[in-house]
Chain A
Amino acid sequence: MASLNDTIAALDRLPALPATSMRLISMLAGGGRDADLREVESIISHDEAVTAAVLRRANSAAFGMRGRVAGLSDAIRRLGTRELCRIALETQTSGLLANAGRSYGLRRGALSQSALGGAVAADELAQIHRLNREVAFVAALLRDIGKLAIDAVAGPDALEKIAAAADTRPFLAYEREAFGADHAELGALLCERWSLPTEIVAAVRGHHEPPSNPHQPLTDIVHAADCVARWAGLGLGCDGLMYPFDAGARERLGVTRDDLEALVADVLAAAAPEAAPGTAPLRRTA
């Protein structure tokens, strides 16, 4: 087990979110007004993985475009700034998360898939509740980033042993006992270090325990999106389903069982399109 000081010290050893992602997030949080297509283009063309993802997306059936795109600048023009930002963030976050969650027993890529699934759910919920969809997407994408810190301090099998002995308390309580802080708090600390907007920091911090007084609409949405991803079978480690769906957030969002199950089906189709052949991933062009 680790002390809070050890755990906080581990944050310094973690890879940082690429500076380009930080810049894109601040553009999106500004409502896109600040977004400059030329700056986005320059960011994308300097990152091979992002460039490849942009071309793939532009050529995908989901966009329903006639003819193949001619090259990167054509793809950039067709996709638009907001979609480009999302692709860049998705790609760079996946890079950070690809090997994360080992201490939870997650297989390679499982946490990036769950990050994307939650982001798609948060986007849909934000649209219904008239919040900034891009900010909701990013906050949900980064919600489990604190699991990187737990990986850095947890010994092999530590979390599996904790989970096996767990009773009916939420898993965060066990993380706090073992490491001095839980993955939601550690994720928020990382987002603060990266100077991300305060509402994103708050949503990451509260994504399992959304505050009620005063409540934070974005945090409620990221919380619900996290539950949806878990119901879609994404990102399930030894912590399993040991996180409650907060009744206050459920009331405030007014989500019914049918809404939620339809969202679970959408999320799986978007995060793991190979699992739903013939279903276009949930993408949009605006």
Chain B
Amino acid sequence: MSRTPSIPLRPETARAAEGDKIVVGVADLQLSRDSSKSIITYALGSCIGVTLYDPVAKVGGMLHFMLPESTVSVDKAAANPAMFGDLGLPILFDKVVAAGAKRERLVVCAAGGAEVLADDGHFRIGSRNRTVLRKILWKLNILLAADDTGGQHSRTLSLRLADGAIQIRSQGKESTLWPR
């Protein structure tokens, strides 16, 4: 994809590792092919977490983006494209493919995109994040395997690299998003 900026994203770092978990911060992206680990992001509100997983190559990646469009803050977008869905999503796909995944095998899941209570249409950051996700996937000709989005609650999303299982934890309850 030609629009990928040349700014390198952070490699998986010691800071991001918590035991068997690779932690994705807000506006962050992590990749791994270590089957003993999970990739996890905490407290997705209006932000969206997107996971990609190739069940054959056992390569996975996760992006936690915060805002839909990078046009609102050009300097922040240049410093960290993972903050924005429009830039972060193509980079996530490129990185996972570069790490050995095959695009046609990718299982794509998403969670988050919650909305502030009683938003009367002024801000709707959560819904607009969901829209940019759909738009980019449409352009890339990729379907979502499963998603858990909307509402007002926060979610923790994890991807187990051994088998690609996607777990969601929200309001004290744990559920499996994929496989269904």
Contact = CB atoms under 8 A, between A and B. Distances in A.
Nearest to B117: A244
The interface size bin for chain A is 35 or more
B25 A241 contact: no
A242 B46 CA distance: 12
Interface of B: 10, 15, 25-28, 42-47, 64, 66-67, 69, 72-73, 75-76, 79-80, 83, 114-120, 122-123, 125-126, 151-154, 171-173
Contacts of A262: 72-73
Given A160-B171, A233-B43, A241-B154, A170 B79 contact: no
Contact of A265 (B10, B45, B72, B152): B72
Contacts of B117: 168, 170, 241-244
A278 interface: yes
Contact of A107 (B42, B75, B120, B126): B42
A258 B64 CA distance: 20
Contact of A276 (B67, B76, B153, B171): B76
B116 A233 contact: no
A94 B127 CA distance: 33
B172 A244 contact: no
A19 interface: no
Interface string A149-172: 000000001001101100010100
Interface in A230-257: 230-234, 236-238, 240-245, 247, 250, 257
Contacts, number: 134
Contacts of A60: none
A240 B46 CA distance: 9
A269 interface: yes
Contact of A241 (B42, B114, B122): B114
A230 B126 CA distance: 12
A269 B116 CA distance: 22
Contacts of A233: 26, 43-47, 64, 66
A250 to B, nearest CB: 7
What are the 10 tightest A-B residue pairs by CB atom distance, in nearest-first order? A160-B172, A233-B26, A236-B43, A240-B153, A244-B118, A279-B79, A236-B154, A265-B73, A164-B171, A240-B154
